[in-house]
Amino acid sequence: MKYLILDVDGTLTNSKKELTDKTYEALMNIQEKGHKIIIASGRPTPGVKWIVDKLKLHEYGGYVLCFNGAKVIDLKNDKIIYQNIFPRECIAPLYEYAVKNDMGMITYEGDTVIHGTRPDDYMRFEARLNFMELRQVDNFPDYITFDVNKCLFTASPEVAPELEKEMAAMYEGKLSIYRSEEFFIEAMPLGVDKAASLDKLFSAIGVNVADTVACGDGFNDMSMIKYANVGVCMKNGQQVVKEAADYVTEKTNDEDGLVEVIDKFILG
């Protein structure tokens, strides 16, 4: 039995955010043969529900890592295997930093994306992508009296790299901060990344890393690509991720590059 670990955007789905018929059929085929699928995404839980349902991961006993691994769920019984909570004392100063630097700041409440800064197109994209409502709340830091797994910041691609570096330096030893898209800066509880959460999952369910193949394309996929026995970067992936991977697909996510991975490393 092999475990295929899949990022969603830019890997599992094409550039239209769709799961193509060819990729879908290949994934259903390996599940029928007894292999397991793990979805590992920066998306919130509601944002991967349609994929979980379409691939019948509840039925086949798959797993999902959402919020970049801050929450890990065993889909067979909807059990949370692991989660890491965002330190609440960091929310108010981060909010002040976002306002000062004209950034957007959001987090997640149930099926809603909430924000206290002015709405922007990047926030709207995040809400639309995850089939969630976008809602502004008054006094954002005081409003968050519940546990959250991550906060997401939006900024134009021109300024995001510098803001990411500054935030990472400010919160070194307190938070994990990195970009998942050119315009998204993720702020996570310290030590949260896809590899760390996969390690906790595999320890809990008794999986040997030798039986794993991980596929991704973005900055936040680097850790799991290095961690898995076979780390794959999609042809459309970031150059630095390609350099870290064991294999780079010959086809992009728009050309069913995952089918190539399945044939070579799962069935081959």
Query: Alpha helix (H) ranges present in the chain?
Result: 21-32, 45-54, 57-60, 91-100, 121-129, 140-143, 160-170, 194-205, 222-227, 239-244, 257-261
> Following CA atoms 219, 19, 51, 104 in sequence, which dihedral angle do they give, to the nearest 10 degrees?
40
**Confidence band, pLDDT 50/70/90 cuts, at residue 181:** confident
Whole-number pLDDT of residue 191:
87
Delimiting residues of CATH 3.30.1240.10 domain(s) in the chain: 88-189
Sign of CA dihedral 47, 186, 122, 98: positive
Whole-number pLDDT of residue 180:
82
**Confidence band, pLDDT 50/70/90 cuts, at residue 179:** confident
Look at the chain and count its residues.
268
**CATH code at 3-84+192-266:** 3.40.50.1000
Q: What share of the chain is helix, strand, coil (3-state, %, to 5)?
A: 45, 25, 35
Delimiting residues of CATH 3.40.50.1000 domain(s) in the chain: 3-84+192-266
Q: pTM for this structure? A: 0.90
Query: What is the distance between the alpha carbons of residues 42 and 48, in angstroms, rounded to a whole number?
Result: 10
**Confidence band, pLDDT 50/70/90 cuts, at residue 219:** confident
What is the mean predicted confidence (pLDDT) over 214-233?
Answer: 96
For the chain, the C-alpha Rg in angstroms (whole number) is: 18
What is the mean predicted confidence (pLDDT) over 92-108?
Answer: 98
- Residues 15, 261 contacting (CB under 8 angstroms): no
What is the mean predicted confidence (pLDDT) over 20-47?
Answer: 97
**CATH code at 88-189:** 3.30.1240.10
pLDDT reading at 50 higher than 90: yes
Residue that wins the pLDDT comparison between 219 and 130: 130
264: helix, strand or coil: helix
**Confidence band, pLDDT 50/70/90 cuts, at residue 249:** very high
